[in-house]
Amino acid sequence: MMMSEENELSHHFEITGGDFSNAGRTSTSIKEILQEIGIDSSIIVRAAIASYEAEMNVVMYAHRGLLTLNVTPKKLHLKLEDEGAGIENVDLAMKEGFSTATDEMREMGFGAGMGLPNIKKNADKFKISSIPGKGTSIDITICLDKTEEK
C-alpha cells in the first residue's frame, strides 16, 4: 500500500503490554477519527470492536505493539504488530472459547476466548501470522465502498 497518498489517512498507536489503565484508548481514538470523517456507524462499531480486541491482546499477552490505521475512501485497514510471546498454535487460538488467559484476567472479564474470532468476525479480510517467542501480526480490512466487495 502506498503511504501518504493524498486521500489516505494514516495513524499509528503505540500500545504497552500490561497497561490496563490505558486499555481502550486506542479504539476510542479510532472511533472518534472515523466519526469525524463520516464513516457509517455500523462500520465504526466493527472497527471499534476489532481494534479493541487487538489492543487488548497486546495489553494482555505482549510487551508492546503498534496499531496502524489506514483509511481511504474505499477501505479501512488495521494492522497490528506486537513484540511478545507470540502464539504457539494459531489455528487453536482462532477457535472460539480457546484462551490462555490467567485467572486474574478472567476475573476482569477477559479471556473468554472470543478475542481473535471477534476480530475476524468484524473484518472483511483477515490475516494473522505469529512467530512464537517473537510476536504476532494481524492484518484486517473492512470495505467502505460496497462495490469493492469482491
Partner 1 sequence: MNQYFHSIWIDTEKCNGRMKCLRVCPTQAIRIRNGKASLIQEKCIDCGECITACPHGAIVPLTDPFGELTKFRHTVAIPSPALYAQFGREILPEKILTGIKNLGFDDAFDLAFTCGEVSFAIQEYLREYRGPKPLISNACPTVVRLIQVKYPALIDQIIPIELPRELAAREIKKKKSKQLGLKEKEIGTFYLTPCPVKMISIKQPAEKGQSFLDGAISISDIYGLLLSAMEGIEKGSYRKALENICILGIGWAMVGGICRTLRLKNSLAVSGITEILKVFDDIERGKLRNIDFIEAYSCTQGCVGGSLTVENVYISYNKILKLIETLEYEQIKACPDIREVRKLYGQKYFFIKGKFEPRPLKPLDKDLAKAIKKRKEKEDIYESLPKIDCGACGAPTCLTFAEDVVKGEAKLTDCIFNLPQRFKESSQDFSDLFNKYSFRSQTKSSPKKEAKKERQ
* Residues of this chain that bind partner 1 (CB under 8 A): 6-9, 24, 27-28, 31, 33, 35-39, 41-42, 44-45, 48-49, 52, 71-73, 109, 118, 144
The answer to whether 90 touches 117, Cβ cutoff 8 Å, is no
Q: How far is the CB of 79 from partner 1 (least distance, A)?
A: 18
Q: How far is the CB of 63 from partner 1 (least distance, A)?
A: 23
Q: Which of 24, 124, 21, 96 is nearest to 67 (CA)?
A: 24
- CA distances (Å), origin 34, targets 13, 84, 107: 15, 29, 32
Q: How far is the CB of 132 from partner 1 (least distance, A)?
A: 28
**Pick 9 or 85: Cβ nearer partner 1:** 9
